[in-house]
């Protein structure tokens, strides 16, 4: 895939811990699955609707996939679409920007 950026949805607490620690090892679902789930810009609205419905205070981190190199794998998931997964901890330095979810 030639997508440069992907997005990680985090709770406000997860984001605060990420900033404090300088690294994100994963949300509970990531730890269970063995990789950090990301979404492309096109996949992001459905991801938020499906997994974060009615949650407030969410943050969206824009992740530079190029900074992660071969730690990123594109794998089939929801509806057969390819999603970026990180098979490592996510360093804060790979986050290009962060914003509150609408």
Q: What is the pLDDT of residues 52-62, one digit of tens each?
A: 988 999 999 99
Please tell me the distance from the alpha carbon of residue 5 to that of residue 97, in angstroms, as a whole number. Answer: 10
Look at residue 89 in the predicted model and tell me its pLDDT.
98
As a whole number, the mean pLDDT across the chain is 95
* Helices and strands in the chain: count of H runs, count of E runs: 3, 8
What contacts 15, CB < 8 A, 6 or more positions away? 59, 61, 98
Confidence at residue 37, expressed as pLDDT on a 0 to 100 scale: 97
Domains of the chain (ranges; CATH) run 5-100 (3.20.170.20)
pTM of the model: 0.93
Cα-trace Rg, the chain: 12
pLDDT of residue 35: 97
Q: Beta 5-10 vs 59-64: how paired, if at all?
A: antiparallel
């Amino acid at each position: 895939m030639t997508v440069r950026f992907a997005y990680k949805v985090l709770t406000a607490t997860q984001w605060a811990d990420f900033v404090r620690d300088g690294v994100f090892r994963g949300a509970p679902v990531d730890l269970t699955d063995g990789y950090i789930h990301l979404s492309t810009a096109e996949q992001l609205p459905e991801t938020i609707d499906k997994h974060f419905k009615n949650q407030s205070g969410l943050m969206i981190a824009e992740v530079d996939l190029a900074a992660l190199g071969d730690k990123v794998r594109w794998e089939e998931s929801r509806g057969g679409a390819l999603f970026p997964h990180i098979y490592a901890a996510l360093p804060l330095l790979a986050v290009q920007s962060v914003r509150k979810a609408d």
